[in-house]
Amino acid sequence: MARRLMLALFSALFVLYVAGPVLWLLSSSLQMESEITAVPPNWLPPHPGLHNFSAIFSAGDSAEYVNRGIAGFLPSGAANLLPSLYNSLQVGLWVAALNLVFSLTAAYAIAVIDFKGRRATLYTVLATRVIPDIALVVPMFLVIRNLGLINSLGALVVTYLAVTVPFTIFILISYFEGIPRDLYRASRIDGCGHWGALRHVYLPLSLPALVAALMFAFLTSWNEFLFALVLTQNVAAQTLPIIIAGFVMDFTTSFSFVNAAGVIAILPPVLLAVIFQRYIVSGLTAGAVKG
Amino acid sequence: MAAITLQGVTKRYGSVTAVQALDLAIHEGEFMVLLGPSGCGKTTTLNMIAGLEEISDGTLLFDTTDVTRLPPHKREVAMVFQSYALYPNKTVAENIAFPLKLRRVPKAEIERAVAGVAEQLELTPLLGRRPNQLSGGQRQRVALGRAIVRQPSVFLMDEPLSNLDATLRLSMRSLIKRLHHQLKATFVYVTHDQAEALTLADRIAVMRGGVVQQLDTPEGIYERPANIFVASFLGSPQINLLREGLPRPDWVAEGRDVIIGLRPEDVARPGEGLATLGGRVELVSPLGSETQLEVALSGGSVTLRVPKDWRVREGEALEFGVDPARLHAFDAATEQRIAP
Ligand SMILES: Nc1ncnc2c1ncn2[C@@H]1O[C@H](COP(=O)(O)OP(=O)(O)OP(=O)(O)O)[C@@H](O)[C@H]1O
Ligand SMILES: [Mg+2]
């Protein structure tokens, strides 16, 4: 009995630890600036309202938000928030889609086709991920500049693919290797070429791993900060993390506005996770156990 | 294309040679069985014929066409796997239809073909199920159906029955034999089960360590084994092999160092024209219709199968007759058969 109680207690503490900041973010996004900064803090919004969100979606004409003193003031880059949200979505979806194309074909080749140097290929691909991103920033900047892609969404897509594809190849290979080899053989006998075997055997049987790869690629580009900071310069290509980070670099910070922006940043990944949740758990453990 | 010719076909995995310079001519419409112990290269040979393994050296012909480098989907062979290898995400009907679908056969024709095959293999009530809702025997019938629906001229089977229980194996064995008669296709069948090989095969290729030891009809393999390995691989209980204690057949040269083989069933009551042997009975195992004996001869102990009316008891002395013409002689050094 005592054991169970302890267990419940620690679980609750852990949930609080993990979910606390998110809950506070939600709560404060519904409060006014003065309520957020009040001492003692308001755990629940005393006068919940969507004013911060409406400020985001009407950042162009900010007079009301400021004048009525609901929140106080708008950050200087407030008008960039929605465009950057759109940028982030575009980059994330492109990265997720292209990532799947590249890693699916590469993983199939390495896992299934018996060519000379397949192990070496795999290790080379994985080795690129041992180098910390910070060491790659300058070379990457030069490459992107020479490609003429600086300050474009393409720059981010290319870079994020370089970051995510090696991992997804690895996830997919371990999943593919758990698919019985005889199924591949049967498909070849039945009349499939390599594309056919990929489409009729490996694709339908590795859906969980594919969803995990998609999520991973999307989340990585959604969250990425360092490369985006270096490779983009203005609202044409800047993503959500850059813009939101910019809000707290103002002379004074509007916590109400920033926290509402944070809630918006959380929504797309959460939506994705909800849609695909039944695949995710088995996909994330795909590499751990074969079969 | 229906005749299959392997010329010096070799498969190497790094330093391992799985199949060594294999020469094999499989006739059109023949039921060829590749028989041998585990790891002797049977599956590798079959996979090379199918195109699933690259051929390291040598030439593979279908009739007179060189297919050595042809990918599997262009070879038009059908194959049945030990693991059944049914597509788990497809229903029985979809599994059987799949090869036709890939060949862009019209839909109505596919439906007709699937229905026909299902009828033939008694799969009709199962067409809507998925493989994980089937028993082992049903799965193997679906695998057979997927193979025959294309009406291929070459059939490859890799131990298709070894995951089934004994009764099922017998009925599937006769089903396969019937299919061979109906389809008149060339069958290459891999097994390590000698009973399967002897009942199904037109000819058997006995393999060991990637090398064919003997290629002959089941009768030829059993009656005239080419060497000691083949002699002991076929026959249950195993052939008795003794250096001394069994009579030397008269075609064996005087003074030559030989090993004499006696099949357990090649014994009779002492009589005219038979060499008479005697020894003490060490073990009696009644098998119903027959009795199996262990008898100590001067050169070692032998296993015999005798009619049950011999009424032998353990510890007694036994005299029995052996027809010298039915003995097998092998050179003791090379282990090769010495033919009469
Ligand atoms: N991919 C591989 N890499 C290295 N060696 C292999 C490979 N596949 C097979 N071999 C070796 O080749 C030899 C023949 O293997 P094969 O699978 O053809 O045997 P088999 O006669 O089918 O045996 P079994 O009755 O057990 O199925 C074996 O010694 C095996 O270890
Ligand atoms: Mg095998």
Distance from CA of B94 to the nearest CA of A (A): 12
High-pLDDT (> 70) share of chain B, %: 100
Q: Does A188 touch chain B (CB under 8 A)?
A: yes
Domain that holds residue A114: 78-284
Query: What Rg do the C-alpha atoms of chain A give, in angstroms?
Result: 23
A204, B78: Cβ pair inside 8 Å?
no
Of the residues A37, A70, A103, which one is the last residue of a structural domain? Answer: A70
Average pLDDT over residues A94-108: 96
A200, B103: Cβ pair inside 8 Å?
no
B98, A204: Cβ pair inside 8 Å?
no
- How is residue A283 written in tokens? 């996909």
With b for 16 or more beta-carbon neighbours within 10 A and e for fewer, the B161-176 pattern comes to beebeeebbeebbebb
Q: Give the DSSP H or E segment for A57.
A: helix A51-57
Q: What is the pLDDT of residues B233-249, one digit of tens each?
A: 999 899 999 998 889 88
Average pLDDT over residues A217-232: 90
Predicted TM-score of the model (pTM): 0.85
Q: Which residues of A touch B103 (CB under 8 A)?
A: 191
Q: Are residues A109 and A131 in the same domain?
A: yes
- Residue B268 has what DSSP assignment? B
Residue B235 alpha carbon to ligand 2 centre in Å: 21
Q: What is the pLDDT of residues A33-73, one digit of tens each?
A: 777 777 788 888 887 877 778 777 776 555 555 544 455 56
**What was the pLDDT predicted at A287?**
44
**Closest ligand to the CA of B39:** 1
Cβ–ligand 1 contact at B44 (below 6 Å): yes
**B340 lies in some domain:** no
**B339 lies in some domain:** no
Write the residue in B51, B73, B79 that is nearest to A192 by C-beta: B73
**What was the pLDDT predicted at A54?**
78
- First-to-last CA distance in chain B? 39
Q: Are residues A8 and A113 in the same domain?
A: no
**What was the pLDDT predicted at A289?**
39
Of the residues B202, B232, B262, which one is the last residue of a structural domain? Answer: B232
The type of residue at A54 is: S
Higher per-residue pLDDT: B275 or A31: B275
- Closest by Cα among A220, A206, A123 to A162: A220
Whole-number Å distance between alpha carbons of B117 and B95 = 12
Q: Are residues A144 and A256 in the same domain?
A: yes
Closest atom of ligand 1 to B11 CA is 12
**A290 lies in some domain:** no
Q: Are residues A235 and A168 in the same domain?
A: yes
CB A216 within 8 A of CB A171: yes
Q: What is the pLDDT of residues A135-178, one digit of tens each?
A: 989 999 999 999 888 888 999 999 999 999 999 999 999 999 99
Residue B320's Cβ-side half-sphere holds a number of Cα atoms within 13 Å equal to 29
Q: Are residues A134 and A173 in the same domain?
A: yes
Closest atom of ligand 1 to B190 CA is 22
Q: Give this complex's ipTM.
A: 0.88
Strand partners, B62: B4, B65
A185, B102: Cβ pair inside 8 Å?
no
Q: Which of B9, B20, B35, B40 to mutate to test the pocket of ligand 1 (most atoms within 8 A of CB)?
A: B40
Q: Are residues B153 and B169 in the same domain?
A: yes
Average pLDDT over residues A225-254: 83
- Phi, psi for A151 (deg, rounded to 5): 60, 35
Domain CATH number, residue B201 = 3.40.50.300
Q: Are residues A243 and A124 in the same domain?
A: yes
Peptide bond into B237 cis (omega under 30): yes
**B338 lies in some domain:** no
**A58 lies in some domain:** yes
Number of domains in chain B: 2
Q: Are residues A115 and A144 in the same domain?
A: yes
Whole-number Å distance between alpha carbons of B135 and A28 = 60
Distance from CA of B276 to the nearest CA of A (A): 55
Distance from CA of A285 to the nearest CA of B (A): 21
Q: Give the DSSP H or E segment for B57.
A: strand B57-62
Domain that holds residue B48: 4-232
**What was the pLDDT predicted at B253?**
85
Q: Are residues B226 and B243 in the same domain?
A: no
Q: Are residues B227 and B244 in the same domain?
A: no
Q: Are residues A65 and A98 in the same domain?
A: no
In this prediction, the residues of chain B whose per-residue pLDDT falls under 50 are none
Task: Give the pLDDT band (50/70/90) at residue A248.
Answer: confident
* Rama region for B21: left / alpha / beta (φ>0; ψ in -120 to 50; rest): left
Cβ–ligand 1 contact at B15 (below 6 Å): no
CB A259 within 8 A of CB A266: no
A188, B81: Cβ pair inside 8 Å?
no
- Closest by Cα among B21, B51, B25 to B186: B25
Cβ–ligand 1 contact at B54 (below 6 Å): no
C-alpha angle B234-B240-B242 in degrees, rounded to nearest 5: 135
- How is residue B231 written in tokens? 């002699």
**B43 lies in some domain:** yes
Q: Find where tokens 């180098």 sit.
A: A131
Cβ–ligand 1 contact at B162 (below 6 Å): no
- Phi, psi for A236 (deg, rounded to 5): -60, -35
Whole-number Å distance between alpha carbons of A136 and B320 = 89
Whole-number Å distance between alpha carbons of A115 and A104 = 17
Q: Atom 16 of ligand 1 has which residue's CA nearest to it?
A: B41
- Tell me the H-state helices in B121-227: 136-148, 166-183, 194-200, 218-223
Q: In 3-state terms, what secondary structure has residue B66? A: strand
Q: Are residues B50 and B192 in the same domain?
A: yes
Residue B253 alpha carbon to ligand 1 centre in Å: 40
Q: Find where tokens 């250096």 sit.
A: B243
Q: Which residues of B touch A201 (CB under 8 A)?
A: 87
Of all residues in chain A, the one with the smallest CA distance to B156 is A189
Q: Atom 14 of ligand 1 has which residue's CA nearest to it?
A: B41
Q: What is the pLDDT of residues A113-139, one digit of tens each?
A: 988 899 999 999 989 888 888 898 999
CB A53 within 8 A of CB A260: yes
Question: Is the pLDDT reported for residue A279 higher than 80?
Answer: no
Compute the Cα dihedral for A201, A207, A209, A213 and give only its sign: positive
Q: Are residues B193 and B87 in the same domain?
A: yes
Number of domains in chain A: 2
Question: Is the pLDDT reported for residue A290 higher than 50?
Answer: no
Average pLDDT over residues A231-246: 86
Q: Does A180 touch chain B (CB under 8 A)?
A: yes
Q: What is the pLDDT of residues B43-67, one digit of tens each?
A: 999 999 999 999 999 999 999 999 9
Q: Does A179 touch chain B (CB under 8 A)?
A: no
- Give the CA distances from residue B89 to residues A191, A200, A203, B95, B138, in Å, rounded to whole numbers and listed in that order: 18, 10, 11, 9, 17
Write the residue in B84, B86, B102 that is nearest to A196 by C-beta: B102
Distance from CA of A198 to the nearest CA of B (A): 13
**A270 lies in some domain:** yes
Domain CATH number, residue A236 = 1.10.3720.10
A182, B81: Cβ pair inside 8 Å?
yes
**B310 lies in some domain:** yes
CB A205 within 8 A of CB B89: yes
CB B11 within 8 A of CB B48: yes
Query: What Rg do the C-alpha atoms of chain B give, in angstroms?
Result: 24
**A254 lies in some domain:** yes
Of the residues B201, B232, B263, which one is the last residue of a structural domain? Answer: B232
For chain B, what is the largest distance between any 2 Cα atoms, rounded to a whole number of angstroms? Answer: 75
Q: Which residues of B touch A189 (CB under 8 A)?
A: 50, 52, 72-73, 77-79
Q: Does A183 touch chain B (CB under 8 A)?
A: yes
**A291 lies in some domain:** no
Of all residues in chain A, the one with the smallest CA distance to B73 is A191
Q: Give the DSSP H or E segment for A195.
A: helix A194-197
